Structure 1
């Protein structure tokens, strides 16, 4: 009885599609702007720089403000 071993099939690399920078740039700019607005509301929406009257925004982001190290009182 002869033992023969078959050579394993070569692994094919997955097809990699490259995204053009023109497809990524608008989304990166959108999410960057969204993060800046979020950072403003968490970090600075209070007191003299307040865009909205009342303390509603402050109360909604109060714990996040402390978690990120922003003082608020």
Structure 2
């Protein structure tokens, strides 16, 4: 075996550079998730009283504990 052909130190595998993700691919998902979060915030925080979309207390009772967890008063 030739001494000049073996490296004196271990060779690590090359690391690939991270692949950039285009904003055009992320933007529709970001808008969709943002709208879903706003919808969830509406149902947890404002679905009662004058701004109520659904009549009755079903939505209020469904998100009641979430309201208290997030600090929204309801009593």
TM-score of the superposed pair, with normalisation by structure 1: 0.86
Matched with 1:22 is: 24
Q: Once superposed, what is the RMSD of the aligned Cα atoms? A: 1.5
Offset of residue 12 of structure 1:
2.0
Aligned with residue 52 of structure 1, among 41, 54, 60: 54
Q: How many residues align?
A: 69
Please list every run of 5 or more consecutive structure 2 residues that lacks an aligned counterpart in the other structure.
1-6
Matched with 2:65 is: 63
TM-score of the superposed pair, with normalisation by structure 2: 0.84
Please list every run of 5 or more consecutive structure 1 residues that lacks an aligned counterpart in the other structure.
none
**Secondary structure, aligned partner of 1:54:** coil
Matched with 2:45 is: 43
Offset of residue 6 of structure 1:
4.1
Alignment partners' CA distance in 1, 2:41 and 2:54: 15
Please give the per-residue CA displacement for 1:47-69, whole angstroms capped at 9, x wherever unaligned.
Answer: 11100011000010000000000
Alignment partners' CA distance in 1, 2:31 and 2:70: 23
Alignment partners' CA distance in 1, 2:19 and 2:28: 19
